[in-house]
Structure formats: structure tokens, C-alpha cells
Structure 1
Amino acid sequence: MGTLLPFVGMVMVILAQVSSMVITKAAMSNGVNKYVLIVYSNALSSLVLLPCSFIFHRSVHLPSTSSNLYRLIFLLALIGCVGQLCGYAGIQYSSPATATAMLNLVPAFTFILAIIFRMEQLEWRSTSSQAKFLGTVISITGAFVVTFYKGPIILSTQSLVVLPHQLLFSPQLNWVLGGLLLAAEAFINSAWYIIQTLVLKKFPAVLTVMFYLCFFNAILSTIYSLFLVKDPSAWKLRPDIGLVAILYSAIVAITFRISLCSWCLWKAGPLYVSMFKPLAIIFAAVMGIVFLGDVLCLGSVIGAIIIVTGFYAVLWGKAKEEKMGEESGVESLESSSQKVPLLQNRIED
């Protein structure tokens, strides 16, 4: 039972994420403006998260307004806003399956950024560093395959929901543009995760931080959307797939998914949670084919396999590194306990 609940929880997290992508893609294909979707989703998310943060973090005191925490959160929101824009546009021009495949680039890009900012050192003699470096190269190679090689169609079906797909360029150019935007989103998300780690170390109330992020995101996205959305009627909410996408994104994809994922992190740890990410590719491919009439191409399958291989290589390297750190910590504790009889006696007791 101890492992069953986190397993079910992570499957639900992945389903919430993928289904939100599929519904968002359906809404944009149906003519809903992506900028409007971003604004309304963030605004509604902040409204939902506000009472949640009070309920679950009522004992946590907010930092003073002079604290640099708010500046970090605003920077995080700014980066997240750009990432959201790339993500929505990438899904619009490609597919949810491609989007989920590209998300597996995040560990590789995080590793690169950690080296650039000297948060991590690359030790060529260490097998963990070699695995992470090799996994990074493999993941990026897979991303190139997904983006630039579509290949023949290997699976397609009649869409259950007929949606008019709007193309910006030719289908092939759209696919490349979508892949590049999704790769950019993965890179931006990597920077976002690094800054988020700094924020949560200072203020570990996840839902409160997410409220501020969504609130700032809503403000920022409103500002640029007012310039980019020329048609005033695009802002009107109608009882259609667009409204469903906004509600689903705010309630399920953000509030529910983040809360459940945080619980799974607490119960099973980050390594366990990370292992479920490639599962999203399968869910996204199936849901995209069934509900959106997407096609599964050979290039997407090959690229996804390569990306997942690199993903697990980076994950293995990170796990090995953490294990070595724990072992060295135990060794240092044992050596110090030999020097301090009192500590040794307490350990033996």
C-alpha cells in the first residue's frame, strides 16, 4: 500500500498533464487564441490557489515586502511566462506527444545550466558525470530527430472530434517550428526549476509560491496579450472547448496536479517522480490520435525513444551521484563516531 498510492498518484499526475495538453490543443485548433488561454488560465489558477494556500499553509508567515524573495518569484514568473508562451505555441504547431517528448529534455538542459553556472562540476573520471554528459548528448540528439525528421506515418485513426487545424506555414515547417518552440520551452523550464529550487529553499510553502507565480503570470501575460490580440471578440468566454480548456488547466493541470505531485515527492522522492515522465509520451500519443486525429510518425517514435534513453541516463547518473554522496556521508559519520566515544555509545544503543 505504501508504494501503490504514490504509483496511482503519479499516473494521475501524468494523465492530468497530458489531458490538459490535448484539451488545450483542441481549443487552439478550434480557433481559441493561445494568448487569451494563457491569461485566463493563469488568472483562474491564482484565484483557485489563493484559498488553497491559506488552507494548507495558514501557519506559514509570509516574508516581508522588503525580502528579495518576491523579486525571485517575479523573475520566476517572467521566465515561466515566456516558457508558457513557447509551450502553447509549440503544441499548436506540433502535437501533445511531441510536447511530452520534449519535456524529457529538462534534466539534460538543467545539467548544462548547472555546469555553466558552476552549480555542478563535470568530472570526466566519474561514471555519474559520464552518464549525465552522455545522456544529455543523447537527449539533444533525440530532440533533433523529433524536430527535423517526421518520417512516414505509422499510426493514425479517424478523429472522434473533428477540428479545423490551422496551419501557419506548410505542415513540415509547422512541425519544425513546433519542435523548436518546445525545445525552447524545455530549456526555459530548466532555468525555471533552478530558480524555483532557490525560492522553495527560502520559502517552502509550495501552493503559496504557485499562487504568486500564477498571479504574476496573469499580469505579465495580460500586458503582452493586450498588444498581440487585436480582435476584442477573442476575449469573450463562450461555453465551448475554450472555456473547458481554461477551467481544466486551472483546476486540474495546475492546482490538482501540483498538489498531488508535491505529495508524491514527499512520499516517494524526486527520483521516483521523475521516472514517470516518459509515460506521458505514451498517454499523449494515444490521446492525440484518438481525440485530435493526430498521426504518429516514425520520426516521433525514434526521437522519443532516443530522448527517453538519454533521460534515463541522466537520471541514473544523478541517482548514482546521490548514492555516492550518502555513502561518503555515512563513512564520515562512522569515522567521526570512532573519535567520539559518547556518539559511538549512542549509536550502538
Structure 2
Amino acid sequence: MVAETRRERMSEVAPFAVMLIMEGCTISLTILAKTALTTGISPFVFVVYTNAVGSILLLPFSFLYHRGERCVCVSLSRLYMYLYRTYAYALFSINPLLHHCFFLINYRIEQSLFTFPLLFRIFLMGLTGVAISQNLAFLGLSYSSPIVVCAMGLLMPTISFLLSIILRYIQNVILNLIIDKRNNLSLSLYNLKSRGSEDHGPLDSIEKTKDCLLEHLIQCWLKFRNYHRTARLDWRSTSSQAKMIGTFISIAGAIFVELYKGPFTRPSPVSLDHHLQVIPKLFVFYSTPDRWVLGGILLAAATLSISVWNIVQMGTVKQYPQVMKVASSYSLVGTIQCLVFSLIMEGDLDAWKLKRKRDLLLIIVTGVFGSIIRSNVHLACTRMKGPFYVPMFKPFGVVFATVFGTCFFTNSLHYGSVIGTIIVGTGYYAVMWGQIREEELRKEREVEKVGDISDLNAPLLQENEDAQV
């Protein structure tokens, strides 16, 4: 009994402690990256090197992680579906178990990652999740500070929510246009049939072909909507209200961070200003002159790119569930994209030379931490505690950044940045609460549907038992 209690406590404490350590390490590496960018390394070169290290490690690790697994997709032929629909009720009348056995007989095809739809998705994920987002993020970091990185990173649920609303609206508009076009074609085909088909044979076949193509397009679009579930606004529900309020709060906090810096939380004595400028700093939290507004805009754009990547990733994982293989593939593609972009931006070969050994060490540590350690910890905590456990620790980065900036750096952290980031964090938790509440309501509706189906099947089972007696 005591051992079980200890295990339960450890199962609660261990993920919490590990996630706090992950956020602390992330902020520490961000400060080290700020130091490296301030002391001369190009942000574009830094992104290429770190992602190259991560891709080299992630590619073999993904095959070890999914060893022994087979990613299969189930496909049913038209003949099989016809037989199933025709004889399903008869099989259920004989024996419900036989009905389920018949349903499980299908064609299993091993899913390949090297198909055009998946390769296109991987290209998009590499572009949005690596090339665009990381180049913008590190360039924005070089213009601002780690506390601004935290503030703009907390905008991700807000931006994802707004993108989801926009995507749902676009999906509905396109689907309605396709359905209207199909209805018009069906009406014209009906008019042709009513006039007589002897004079309109070729035209009739063309109209039928168009009708079939539009029907297929509707089915493909509905499948796309199933892969990319979008937000639905219901002003009467508390979840939608919480997400909208959180969105406004987060945007207001981000604007506050951009427009108001305020005094330093820990100013250095006036007599030490010249002395601090002469001595080279081992770590840099804030550098002058800064481009605060431009840095914040670049970081917000990076968060937008990550939000797009998240939408594409969710649909990709539904089609190909082996997440680490997907991650290694888009990481490799993103590294190649970063290399091409960086060669254009940094044509001088001297910019690619690492002048300090600590820069090389930082690149290796960042690549290992981002590709292997953090991703595996997040996957493990998600499996243990659910999909909303890991995002709830994102605002703890603000706490670490504030503590580090106040305790170890002078003339580095502004009151306006701290206050604005706290406002963004409040909106972040409001949006997250709305998402959690919406997921709970969705699960309750699914349970109610299952209960209704079981209630409908109960009389049929009773009739079958009476017939057998």
C-alpha cells in the first residue's frame, strides 16, 4: 500500500519537476544564444548548424524509436463495401460476433512516408516549422531579449485560435461553392434527360463526368476538414467566451510589451556603467542599441509560422502516426531550406567560421536538447498526463527569465516587459482553459452518442435472442 502511494506521488511529481527543468533549460539556452548572437555569430548560420546537428541525431533515433512498428492504413474495395452493406444486417441477425469479424476482414496496406501528399506536408512543415520560424525567432532574439521571446511565444494559442476560425470560414466558403456548382450541373443534367438524350449524347457524358469529379472533390474536401479540425465559435458557450477574452488579453499584453519598456528592474550604479561597458560580458541578456519593436514583430511572425506548422502537423500525424519519423523528415528538409536561405543571406565564408569553442559547444547542446531530449520528454508527459499538460508549463519560462534577468544581469530587464508578459500569460491560460473545456464537452457528446447507439441496439439484440429461443 505504501509502495503504491509512493508510485502515485512520483507519477504526479516527476512530470511536474521534469517540465520545470525543461523550461529552465530552454530559457538558459535562449540566454546563451543571445550571448552568441551578440558576440558576432550570424543568426542564420546558427540556425543551420543547430538544425544540422539535430537532424543528424534525429534521423537514426527515429528508426530506433519506431523499431518493430508498422504504419498501416486500411482500405476497403468497392466490392467489399457493397457486400458489407448488403449482408451486414443478416450477419448481425445470425451472430453479432460474426458481423464484427466480417468488418475486420479488409485489405491492409503498409503506409509509406514517400508519397506526394505526405512529402508535400513535410516540405510545408520544414518551411514553416524550421526555416521561417527559427530564422525569424533568432533574428528577433538578436534585436530584443529572452523575455520578449517568452511573451511572443505565449501568443501561439491565440494565433492558432484565430487561424482556426479563418480556416473554418474558408473551408465553408469553398465547400459551398463546390456544392452549388455540383447542384447546377445536376440541374442541367436533369434538363438534358428531360429533353431526350438522343441529341445530347456526348454532352450528357461530359456533364456526368463533371458531376462525378465534383462529387469526388466534395469527398476529398470533407476528408481534408476531418484531418484539420477547426474552431467553431459559439458565443453562448463558456469555452468560446474564454478563448475570445483570452485572445483580446494576449494581444493587449503583446502590444504593451512592444510599446512600453519602462525602467530597469535592476539598474546598475552610475559609477559602474563605464566599467561594465569596457569588460566583455560572459553572458548577455539585453544588448544596446536594440531594435525592440522590430524584434517583437519578428518574434510574433515566428509564432505565426509555428501556428501554421502546428495545423499542418496535426493533419500529418493523423495520416502517418509515427511522429518521430515525421519529425526527422521535416527537420532534414527544413535544414536544407535553411542552408539555401543562409547561403543567400551570408555569402561571406568567414561568417560560417566559429571563432570560439563555446559557440560550437552551444550549437551541439542546442541541437541535442531540441531534437532528442525536449521532444521525448514532451511526448512522454503527453502520454502520461494528456495533450494539455505540456502547454500549461509554457508561462513558467517567464518566471525563469524574470529571475535570471533580475538576479544575474543589470540594466537588462524592463518593468514593462515583465508586466506585459504577465498579461500575455493571463490570456494564454484563458485560451488554454477554453480549449480544455471544449475538449471535455466534445468527449461528453461522444459518450452520449455511444450511449444512444447502445440503447438502439439493445431491442435488436433482445429480438435476436427471442428468435433463437
Q: For residue 220 of structure 1, what is the aligned residue in structure 2? A: 337
Give a deviation string over 1:290-322, Cα, whole Å, max 9, x none: 566562212112211110111111111111111
Equivalences for 1:131-280 in 2 at 5 Å? 131-156=242-267, 161=282, 170-171=289-290, 174-280=291-397
User: Counterpart amino acid of 2:446?
Assistant: G
- Taking only the aligned residue pairs, the percentage that are identical comes to 38
Q: Which runs of 5+ in 2 are unaligned?
A: 1-9, 71-110, 169-229, 269-275, 463-469
- TM-score, normalised to structure 2's length? 0.68
- The verdict on how the C-alpha distance between 1:344 and 1:324 changes in structure 2, with shifts beyond 3 A counting, is farther
Q: How does 1:1-349 map to 2 (within 5 A)?
A: 1-61=10-70, 63-80=112-129, 81-118=131-168, 119-156=230-267, 161=282, 170-171=289-290, 174-289=291-406, 295-341=412-458
Distance (Å, rounded) in 2 between the aligned partners of 1:57 and 1:162: 39
Matched letter for residue 109 of structure 1: I
Q: Quick one: structure 1 residues 19 and 58, their matched pair in 2 at CA, closer, same or farther if it must change by over 3 Å?
A: same
* Distance of aligned partners of 1:237 and 1:295 in 2 relative to their CA distance in 1, 3 Å threshold: closer
- The separation in 1 between residues aligned to 2:120 and 2:154, in whole angstroms, is 29
Report the residue type matching 2:46 in the other structure: L
Displacement of 1:13 in angstroms is: 2.2
Q: How many residues align?
A: 341
Q: Flag the 1:335–1:298 CA change in 2: closer, same or farther, 3 A.
A: same
With over 3 angstroms needed to count, the CA separation of the structure-2 counterparts of 1:53 and 1:263, relative to structure 1, is: same
> 2-side partners of 1:343 and 1:287: how far apart?
67
User: CA deviation digits over 1:270-291, x for unaligned, max 9?
Assistant: 2121111100111123334556
User: Helix, strand or coil: the match of 2:388?
Assistant: helix
Q: Distance in 2 between matches of 1:290 and 1:217?
A: 37
Query: Equivalent residue of 2:389, what SS?
Result: helix
Compared CA separation, residues 291 and 235, structure 1 to 2 (3 A): farther
Q: CA deviation at 1:126?
A: 1.4
AA aligned opposite 1:82 = I
- Calculate the TM-score normalised by the size of structure 1: 0.90
Question: RMSD of the alignment, in Å?
Answer: 2.4
Decide whether the 8 Å contact of 1:22 with 1:287 is kept in 2: no
Secondary structure at the aligned position of 2:423 is classed as helix
Q: Which moved more, 1:55-64 or 1:7-16?
A: 55-64
Alpha carbons of structure 1 residues 292 and 24: separation in structure 2 relative to 1, 3 Å: farther
- Asked if the contact 2:265/2:411 (under 8 Å) is kept, the reply is no
Distance 1:64 1:273 in 2: 27
CA distance in 2, matches of 1:309, 1:163: 28
Whose radius of gyration is greater, 1 or 2? 2
What CA distance in whole angstroms lies between the structure 2 residues aligned with 1:294 and 1:193? Answer: 36
C-alpha displacement of 1:125: 1.4
Amino acid at match of 2:247: T
Going from structure 1 to structure 2, the CA distance change for 1:237 and 1:153 (only over 3 Å counts) comes to closer
- More divergent stretch after superposition (49-58 vs 61-70): 61-70
Shift of 1:235: 1.2
Cα distance in 2 for residues equivalent to 1:300 and 1:180: 14
